[in-house]
Amino acid sequence: MSKYEMGLQKGMILSDEPGYYEAGEFGVRLESLVEVVETPDIGPAEGRFLTFRPVTMAPIDLKMVLPEMLSVEQTAWLNAYHATVRDKVMGLWEKQGKGEELKAWLVNQTRAI
């Protein structure tokens, strides 16, 4: 493998940009950063598989989500991601002494669907 063919390695940070586009009409893209991490308990003894862990901690705007179009797995992922965002950001904001109005906004934006 040449230096230009490096595969994913633990610790790398990547941009994840899934999107949907209608030719000549519109498009939407969600951009976030993810870290390449080893799976905790999946893979052969000599090496774990790799997966992604979100680095970007920002709520996904629920006004743009149609829950009836999500699978059970997609809904569970979104709710788990929002719970992580809420916990990490709220912890930081509490240390910084952020106001209750801002905290209430975060709770609302990361509510389960």
- Asked whether 10 and 50 are in contact (CB, 8 A), the reply is yes
Q: How far apart are CA 27 and CA 19, in angstroms?
A: 7
- Asked whether 78 and 30 are in contact (CB, 8 A), the reply is no
Q: Flag whether the pTM goes above 0.85.
A: no
- H or E stretch including 53? strand 50-54
- pLDDT of 37 over the 90 cut: yes
Whether the CA torsion 92, 60, 31, 3 is positive or negative: it is positive
Work out the number of other CB atoms within 10 angstroms of the CB of residue 109. 17
Q: Which two tokens stand for residue 16?
A: 């994840």
Q: 16-36, pLDDT tens digit by residue?
A: 998 889 999 989 888 899 999
Q: 60-80, pLDDT tens digit by residue?
A: 999 989 999 999 999 999 999
Q: How far apart are CA 55 and CA 24, in angstroms?
A: 32
pLDDT of residue 29: 86
Per the prediction, the chain carries an average pLDDT of: 90
| Residue 44 three-state SS | coil
pLDDT of residue 108: 96
Q: 46-62, pLDDT tens digit by residue?
A: 767 899 999 999 999 99
- pLDDT of 1 over the 70 cut: no
